Structure 1
Amino acid sequence: MILVLFTLSLNIAKGQQYPVYSQYIFNPLVINPAVAGSHVQVSATAMHRNQWVNFEGAPKTLNFSAHTSLLKNKIGVGLMVSDDKIGSYSNQSVFGSYAYIIRSPLGTFSMGLQAGLNVTSADFSNVQRDITDESFTNFTNKLKPNFGAGVYYSNDVLFAGFSVPFILNNNVSSSAEALLNEISEARYYYLHGGLILPLNRMKTVQLNPTLLIRAQEGQPLSMDINAGFIFYDVCSIGLSYRNVEGIVSYIQLKLSDELNFGYSYDWTTSDINRYSSGTHEFSLNYRFRIRKIHGNVECPSVFKF
């Protein structure tokens, strides 16, 4: 049974090599480096995703990211650190991002780059196997550099972005994976956009439709269609339809001027729902301004792009 789960975890690793976040809506830096500096002030976010709860070997992800604008909002810099575990495999990564920001009366346009390292490792200690089988003993840590790029545009009403966060197709196979064909890092493409539309004169209730098209080499096209409502710039509640997975419900609360909390639950509609009770994702965002760096420049609302 353990060997079967191990084999399944390899298939999961091939199909989903990087985390699929549901709360990218509130932290788009996880899919687009050009977003760095878009919040003006320092914006730090911790995220935890527990995918397919009760399913042995399912992905579990920890992510920390932070970004800010510098030089009077002319550039943005960011940092992203993640720890992703799938079955016997784990992937740690550290990426830095840089964005050149162009501001005009029509909105803000930025071009971003990111670069960093992925470290892939495996722990077969809990896998039922023949200890003399070199297929399970020759896996060594794989340290691979990668880089990506993106563009991003936003104003008070809409945003749009396109990114390829990981461009290199690094090979991370070992003799173990060779049993099921070699594994290499797939290239991802993200096209995302959205609107904020006031529903009353006081703008206390706003409609926030967004769209994400996610393309991964060798996998079916994935699309998230999101519809959220923002109430009094304090709370955002919404639903997402993901064509290859199911329904996502989410909420974000502004706890104070600095602190924001988010939670989402993925309702799995595939055959996995027979073994799993869904996916939980939590986020905690903290924002603060450094006067010597950011001056008196107005920072956007938590729910603005």
Structure 2
Amino acid sequence: MTTHYRHQIYTALFTLLLLSAGVQKSFGQREVMNEQYVQNPMAINPGFTGVRETFNMTAVLRRKWFSIPNSPLSQTFAADGTFGEGKFGVGFQALNDQTSYFTTTALSASFAYHLGISDTWKLGLGAQGGINVLPISNGTSFANNRALGSFGLGAWLRSDQFYLGVSKPEILKHGFGDQALSYFYRRPLYIMAGGSYDLNEDVMLLPHVLIVQEKDQDLRVDLGARFWFNEKIGLGASYRMGGGAKTGGTGINFLQFTAEVQVGKNIRLGYFYSTKQIEQIYSTNSGPKGIHELMLKFVPNPNGFQKY
């Protein structure tokens, strides 16, 4: 990697961090979508848009009770691809969340430019924008829905075996009527790193770490790994720790278990179970603490096994 390209990387990442640090108030109403960052890194980093260099579609169904008809559920959908010989990535994401304390509908589009900085390293610089529709209090109820703009930035540096992402998916500041939603809705800074390593001909290890920084909150750290066997079956687990208000509030520590199966070349199915759900920081309602998720991933024209 030449000195010129190193300078480009450092400048881009430093600029992104400056933009992120300029935000003074927390906001981030898409917790459900953001929690799926392992299966869809584009959810927290627009710089990932088009990294896989082929068209991808991912749909996730999230539900507390599968045995109770008409119980609350959430759906997310994400798609991205490239054009211009892989130099440009475009993506789309949609969320309809009914499981959270604050129901949310969100639509966003992302764009990334991918710079080849050496034979083995590439840098993706991305931006995303869209709208989030959520209930806003009028002082007595949550009867009014309001569409709020969304804008974010991200950078994704990668090689065949390693990646590093820095992003701020929400940087706009909004008001929320007569309620203190800004206390709950924060605009976090995400730093994510990971890679892929062949343990032998049949087993691949994909570790990852995510560090989340929010104003007036303790650092949150997610540690996890997935194992793929013969590129057919994937099993993994991750652990979240930290978070919570620096003034004495507690974060939510929990485990997530994942199971995936590659069905042919085009389809991947997944089941994920979290022992707790992120929305518990908003409510102490009784009921199941864990939450189930089902995933369908479709790649019309795969260019090989997709690690991420």
Question: Scaled by the length of structure 2, what TM-score is found?
Answer: 0.76
Deviating more after overlay: 64-73 vs 99-108: 99-108
In 2, distance between residues paired with 1:251 and 1:35?
23
In 2, distance between residues paired with 1:87 and 1:51?
10
- Alpha carbons 1:163, 1:189 under 8 Å: kept: yes
How far apart are residue 287 of structure 1 and its match? 0.7
1:34 aligned counterpart, secondary structure? helix
How far apart are residue 235 of structure 1 and its match? 1.7
Structure-2 change in CA distance of 1:107 and 1:214 (3 Å): same
Structure 2: segments with no counterpart, 5+ residues? 1-25, 242-251
RMSD: 3.0
Q: How is 1:109-128 mapped onto 2 (pairs within 5 angstroms)?
A: 109-121=123-135
Specify which of 211, 234, 245 is matched with residue 213 of structure 1: 211
Structure 1: segments with no counterpart, 5+ residues? 1-13, 125-133, 290-297
Specify which of 142, 145, 159 is matched with residue 146 of structure 2: 142
- Alpha carbons 1:169, 1:187 under 8 Å: kept: no
Structure-2 change in CA distance of 1:138 and 1:162 (3 Å): closer
AA matched with 2:131:
L
- Alpha carbons 1:251, 1:262 under 8 Å: kept: yes
Q: How is 1:129-168 mapped onto 2 (pairs within 5 angstroms)?
A: 135-137=139-141, 139-168=143-172
In 1, distance between residues paired with 2:52 and 2:93?
16
Question: Scaled by the length of structure 1, what TM-score is found?
Answer: 0.76
1:82 aligned counterpart, secondary structure? strand
2:269 aligned counterpart, secondary structure? strand
Aligned residue for 2:255?
247
Structure-2 change in CA distance of 1:256 and 1:227 (3 Å): same
What percentage of residue pairs aligned between the two structures are identical? 26
1:167 aligned counterpart, secondary structure? coil
Aligned residue for 1:11?
none
In 1, distance between residues paired with 2:55 and 2:45?
17
Note if 1:278 corresponds to 2:290.
Answer: yes
Specify which of 120, 128, 136 is matched with residue 106 of structure 1: 120
How far apart are residue 274 of structure 1 and its match? 7.4
Aligned residue for 1:191?
191
- Alpha carbons 2:135, 2:142 under 8 Å: kept: no
In 2, distance between residues paired with 1:239 and 1:79?
27
- Alpha carbons 1:53, 1:276 under 8 Å: kept: no
Give deviations 1:100-135, integer Å, cap 9, x for gaps: 01134122210000011111126x9xxxxxxxxx73
- Alpha carbons 1:19, 1:61 under 8 Å: kept: no
